[in-house]
Amino acid sequence: MAVRKTKQKSAVRDVLAGAVGPLLPSEVLDVARAEVPGMGIATVYRALAEMVDSGAVRVVYIGGIARYEESSRGHHLHFICNRCNRTFCLGCCPISRGLELPPGFSASDHEVTVVGCCPGCSQSPGLGGH
């Protein structure tokens, strides 16, 4: 069965393509509403689920919370700002190049999140860096 292309799905796809990191469904909605003003959160969840099923989008759990990003970005680390709660994609993952597990262990995947303060929050008055 072919996937129907709609203005709403295109808006969700565009938001994820332009994101600097994985997004919450509510963040996708906030940005997508600029293109499709009447869009609702249920539409975003349906579009995300369809994109995950097709393999175009993957779910990333950061702090136990599901966020979404394009699958084409490949495996990489994530950074979450502990002040503004925004997430960012970092470069390649050094763990995937040299992870040694104890005998008998078998890894199928891993997720590493770096936590700290993003540049925007570091420069904000009253929130200064560490």
27 confidence band (pLDDT: 50, 70, 90) = very high
Q: What are the extents of the domains in the chain?
A: 7-122
Q: Tell me the three state secondary structure of residue 80.
A: strand
With respect to CATH, is domain 7-122 assigned 3.30.530.20? Answer: no
Which residue type does 6 have? T
- Cβ within 8 Å of residue 94, ≥6 positions away: none
2 confidence band (pLDDT: 50, 70, 90) = very low
Q: Which residues pair with 116 in a beta bridge?
A: 81
Single out the residue of 37, 35, 11 nearest to residue 25, CA to CA: 11
pLDDT in the model for residue 1: 41
Single out the residue of 109, 17, 94 nearest to residue 60, CA to CA: 109
Q: Which of 26-40, 67-81, 116-130 has the lowest mean pLDDT?
A: 116-130
- The pLDDT tens digits for 39-95 are 999 999 999 999 999 999 989 887 788 999 998 877 777 787 888 878 877 776 666
- Residues 52 and 1: beta-carbon distance below 8 Å: no
